[in-house]
Structure 1
């Protein structure tokens, strides 16, 4: 996230001290950031929480407990949070009267309830206990004709990451074989909802260069080969690498988030 800000990469690598970062206060209400090269999307990065301003008084007061509950968090947005202990699954957001544009905020409060099961969330929605709910992949297939059904596009991409410290994944061909064995379009269709197969890390529809989508311009013949579904080539690469490793089969563990769609990807891929 910080890469491109002056000295950020060297600081992360331990080659320079944190106070050499190209960021400084240029007045009471002005922050000056020095970049090592042009970053056209830099202002968009500011929406990520790692760049949010921190209240020094609160950080020093709460120490390691800072931001771990509603009471130890400082707010400068349109809402104040109350009732979150750090582990409970429900809390409430109240309108922040001190927000700079409070007159534009129409809601007085928002109640959040974390439901780990999409089916439970949908039942609560049907009972009028929730105003909105994320659907499971199966429910999204069944309810596409419902007037309440809405697809909201996000710019997120889900992907597998190999542990390159393991010898079996240090081979480019092994990683390519696993990649080419996956049919991303079929997987996305099976998961339901608005999922689409991705050919790279960047989600489509985020930005255009001229009249072309950035994702189209960022693809090469080599990358399209690896992200495409090529069963025979995948098997060839896989067998070749197994022989080099002296193995007859390959087994590995996949760690995933406790989110239904993430957990569903695994059996679908197998």
Structure 2
């Protein structure tokens, strides 16, 4: 016969039952959190003032353009569910999603996009990347010549229909609309909060996630946006970005299991990491170029002979094989290979010579310019953003210039945000490290950087009338083969003048845990968190 339960016994059994139920339920209640190692602190989360990929990774989790990238890096519908294009390719009509909402529950409207695109081109905004949307009718005239904002070729037909008129047919326009510059801002939020619209607790976003915390130089926390039209298929509850500029520290945290994904790591760790974690090391081809830029405003870099000599003396094979352990390829053209309708890049005329012959030619050029033995001393400062790979490249290049020319070379490094801000704001320098990854799959994206009018990204402040004319003519050329010919002619001029010295065609280096599902390596280096999940 079972003894009757006392009140105390009944209480203990009830507590044990509740505890076991909670314990059994805990796996289902556990948050799905993705920890992402990013390569530095973003300058800003304002779409109008960003330009580098570590900012884009965050912004594209927070916001969604009219078009967006899927897990494969391919363009798919975003805030717009569909669109039509006029026969002449100049008028795009976008139908926004009826269930498209901002994170505060308000609808995403065509007027939000009119406001956002107008804000980018408004000269008062001083958006450094306004030029990427110049294909829109009157965008350049508004941004550079003061034409009224209401003349921009963007119109809200109704709350969910947006019409965009272009200056000319632009085959890659849908790719431009997925760029971080074209991401929308909530008009209501901006009018209420002004520049504070980027702050946690204030930011209203329309992407798969919303910003809940930002501790500078420590972490950014994003939580799932339940208002997103595809929220039911987003498997992550939270994404935490860690701005880890110290690559050794980032790798240690990855090895300790603190990070599920880490972007960029020291190339000298490739073989060790492959031995340790195998195929968690991802080396994926990218449409990207690693280059040095010369400030053409001051001597001696205003002399094409000096620029060519310095470029010739750089042993790119050594950089690719020894510094990057074979994970990058030597570059002699500015446009990376692999872009459709362009073919192989137009390379520098010294590309086929041996390194010894290049160095002999370089010495002769320097002597002709009045530098080197018996001439003026060559003093050079190399600027680069803090990163072990960039430091090793700078050290190697400095040694090459010292050996070849007896040059006096010093080095200066800044964090990634400060480095690019300095270049974009026109700071004076001698030689600086830079890199460019395609925003869209067209050579124009690389070559237009070096036009006289591109005040933001023409770090060299180089100007060549023939080059500018070819680039302008290519904008109006509708025949793909004829247009490619014009762009090749422009690249040939660029490589002859060497305001930029391409060093490497890049591969992207990632560490991706086996726990991460949905990851796809792609040339566009697009990895939106909404397509990823964690399997514990």
TM-score greater than 0.5 by the shorter chain: yes
Q: Does 1:224 align with 2:348?
A: yes
> Residues 65 and 72 of structure 1 are in contact (CA less than 8 Å); yes or no, is this contact kept in structure 2?
yes
Q: 1:116 to 1:43 in 2, by over 3 A?
A: same
Q: 1:262 to 1:251 in 2, by over 3 A?
A: same
Please identify, of 8-17 and 160-169, the stretch whose mean Cα deviation from structure 2 is larger. Answer: 8-17
Tell me how large the CA RMSD over aligned residues is. Answer: 2.7
Q: Does 1:202 align with 2:330?
A: no
Corresponding position of 1:188: 320
Please identify, of 75-84 and 228-237, the stretch whose mean Cα deviation from structure 2 is larger. Answer: 228-237
Offset at residue 90 of structure 1 (A): 0.9
Aligned equivalents of 2:148, 2:308: Cα separation in 1: 38
* Structure 1 length-normalised TM: 0.82
* Structure 2 length-normalised TM: 0.44
Corresponding position of 1:101: 230
Aligned equivalents of 2:351, 2:202: Cα separation in 1: 45
Corresponding position of 1:2: 133
Within the candidate set 258, 261, 268, 2:389 is matched to 261
Tell me the SS of whatever aligns to 1:152.
strand
Offset at residue 55 of structure 1 (A): 1.0
> Residues 22 and 33 of structure 1 are in contact (CA less than 8 Å); yes or no, is this contact kept in structure 2?
yes
Aligned equivalents of 1:167, 1:18: Cα separation in 2: 41
Corresponding position of 1:157: 289
| Aligned length in residues | 258
Aligned equivalents of 2:343, 2:231: Cα separation in 1: 38
Q: Does 1:242 align with 2:370?
A: yes
Aligned equivalents of 1:31, 1:232: Cα separation in 2: 59
Aligned equivalents of 2:309, 2:362: Cα separation in 1: 4
Tell me the SS of whatever aligns to 1:121.
helix
Offset at residue 80 of structure 1 (A): 1.5
Q: Does 1:83 align with 2:213?
A: yes
For residues 138-157 of structure 1, what are the structure 2 equivalents within 5 Å? 138-145=268-275, 146-147=277-278, 148-157=280-289
Aligned equivalents of 2:313, 2:320: Cα separation in 1: 14
Aligned equivalents of 1:190, 1:168: Cα separation in 2: 30
Within the candidate set 311, 322, 333, 1:179 is matched to 311
Tell me the SS of whatever aligns to 2:220.
strand
Answer 1 or 2: higher relative contact order, Cα 8 Å, separation at least 6.
2
Offset at residue 266 of structure 1 (A): 0.8
For residues 118-137 of structure 1, what are the structure 2 equivalents within 5 Å? 118-133=247-262, 134-137=264-267
Offset at residue 182 of structure 1 (A): 1.8
Q: 1:103 to 1:226 in 2, by over 3 A?
A: farther
Structure 1: 5+ residue stretches without partners: none
Structure 2: 5+ residue stretches without partners: 1-131, 399-536
Aligned equivalents of 1:242, 1:39: Cα separation in 2: 46
> Residues 186 and 205 of structure 2 are in contact (CA less than 8 Å); yes or no, is this contact kept in structure 1?
no
Corresponding position of 2:243: 114
Offset at residue 177 of structure 1 (A): 1.9
Q: 1:112 to 1:183 in 2, by over 3 A?
A: same
Deviations 1:170-204 (A, max 9, x none): 22222222222222232122332632223333333
Aligned equivalents of 2:286, 2:218: Cα separation in 1: 24
> Residues 179 and 226 of structure 1 are in contact (CA less than 8 Å); yes or no, is this contact kept in structure 2?
no
For residues 16-95 of structure 1, what are the structure 2 equivalents within 5 Å? 16-67=147-198, 69-85=199-215, 87-95=216-224
Aligned equivalents of 1:104, 1:95: Cα separation in 2: 11
Q: 1:258 to 1:70 in 2, by over 3 A?
A: farther
Tell me the SS of whatever aligns to 1:156.
strand
